[in-house]
């Protein structure tokens, strides 16, 4: 009886050790894959930060001068229209003001 128990324990151990080795190998492969994923996500995060900084840089260099230039052109346009007498909205509002005052 004890011989049978000893034989069963020995067979169980013989089958369990390869399964444990496979489990260890699988865990090592999963850890390697997770390390690769961490590297990829770190690189993606760094890329997004760099892209955001570059966008802000271009925005500050190009955005402000373009806004100023558009403001200048708008001012010139409004001045030219009022000088040429094409500002109908101002004429109508001044006519309405005259009508209210009388």
pLDDT in tens, 58-85: 877 887 888 888 899 999 999 988 888 8
Higher pLDDT, 49 or 12: 49
* The total number of structural domains that make up the chain: 1
Strands (E) across the chain are located at none
How far are the Cα atoms of 69, 87, 89 from residue 82, in angstroms, in the given order? Answer: 20, 5, 10
- Whether the pTM exceeds 0.85: the reply is no
Q: List, for residues 34-65, the tens digit of each pLDDT value.
A: 999 999 999 999 999 999 998 888 877 887 88
Q: How far apart are CA 47 and CA 27, in angstroms?
A: 30
For residue 12, give its domain range: 2-101
């Amino acid at each position: 009886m004890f011989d049978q128990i000893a034989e069963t324990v020995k067979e169980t151990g013989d089958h369990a050790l390869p399964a444990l080795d496979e489990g260890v190998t699988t865990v090592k492969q999963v850890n390697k894959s997770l390390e690769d994923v961490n590297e990829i996500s770190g690189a993606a995060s760094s890329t997004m930060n760099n892209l955001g900084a570059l966008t802000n840089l271009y925005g500050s260099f190009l955005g402000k001068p373009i806004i100023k230039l558009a403001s200048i052109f708008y001012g010139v346009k409004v001045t030219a229209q009022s000088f040429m007498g094409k500002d109908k909205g101002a004429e109508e509002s001044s006519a309405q003001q005259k009508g209210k005052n009388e």
